[in-house]
Amino acid sequence: MFSSHSAALIVEGGAMRGIFASGVLDAFVESRYYPFDLVMGVSAGATNLVSYLSEQPRRSHHIITELACSSDFLDPLRFVKGGDLVDIGWLWHTSRHRFPLDLEAFCARDITFYAVATDVNTGAAAYLPVRPDNMDQVLTATCALPVVQHDTPCVDGRPMADGGISDSIPVIEAYRRGVRRMTVVLSEPYGYRKKPPKFCWVVKALLKTQPALAQAMLERDRSYNRALDFIAHPPADCEIEVIAPPTDFPVSRFTQDLSKLESGYLQGYWLGRQSLLRAGDEGRRVPEQVA
């Protein structure tokens, strides 16, 4: 049985496209907008939520535009030579050093935080609680990309991969946990539909030692589109607000063009501000502490 939650913030991943969500969440932080008792993030969405819960605006922006644009993180030549295309561990641990988290603020809020990962052995989504004592393991696991990185992170002895493989937008899981009011931050424009994978035999060949994970990757479009269908036609007792990039969103999964990233951030920020206006945030804002 799950404890029931009334309101949730759900943030999709999308690698560098996460710059959009960082803008949305920075707008929320600036207005001290924390009306949620549950937050759920996937991959880059989960790392964005860490900065949101720590009340550190522009922290994620700095990580994406400085660290994630470095060849220490993304290096095609390193991949060609047999190394990792992306170094998730380097990015996470360097961000902890360069932009330390305010763990006091992170722990102060009574908000349950789950990151979604994919269990490599079963292909099923794993909803992992995020705490200061386990966040290094959980947040590298939710971002772990099969094939393009060699090491498979483990959480509680279970090998894990990117949560976007099994549950990119965990709205159905949130509803199962009792949530009836959701704010969902997407990484693709509203109306986007994921297409079935091409070259299925390649996926099976590359992941021949991890067949359940391969099957989850081949079924990802169905899982993703089921979540979109739920968002478009929620149950009668469920209210969903969607914040999605505009159709001219300039950022792709591996964009490192700073001008495009800044544009994507500002698009997220201003749509976050518009969301606050719609919500009438004055009545739901956490008041400043009086000295």
Catalytic residues: 43, 162
Which 3 state secondary structure label does DSSP give 247? coil
Sign of CA dihedral 279, 281, 282, 285: positive
From the list 166, 129, 125, the residue with the least C-alpha distance to 3 is 129
Judged on CB neighbours under 10 Å (0-12, 13-18, 19+), 30 is middle
**What is the C-alpha separation between 181 and 174, in angstroms, rounded?**
10
- 255 and 195 in contact (C-beta within 8 Å)? no
**What is the C-alpha separation between 187 and 11, in angstroms, rounded?**
8
Q: Which residues of 52-84 are buried (b: 16+ CB within 10 A; e: fewer)?
A: bbbbbbbbbbbbbbebbbeeebbbeeeeeeeeb
**Structure tokens belonging to residue 86:** 């992306």
Q: Cite the beta strand spans of 83-157 per DSSP E.
A: 112-119, 125-129, 154-155
- 179 and 172 in contact (C-beta within 8 Å)? no
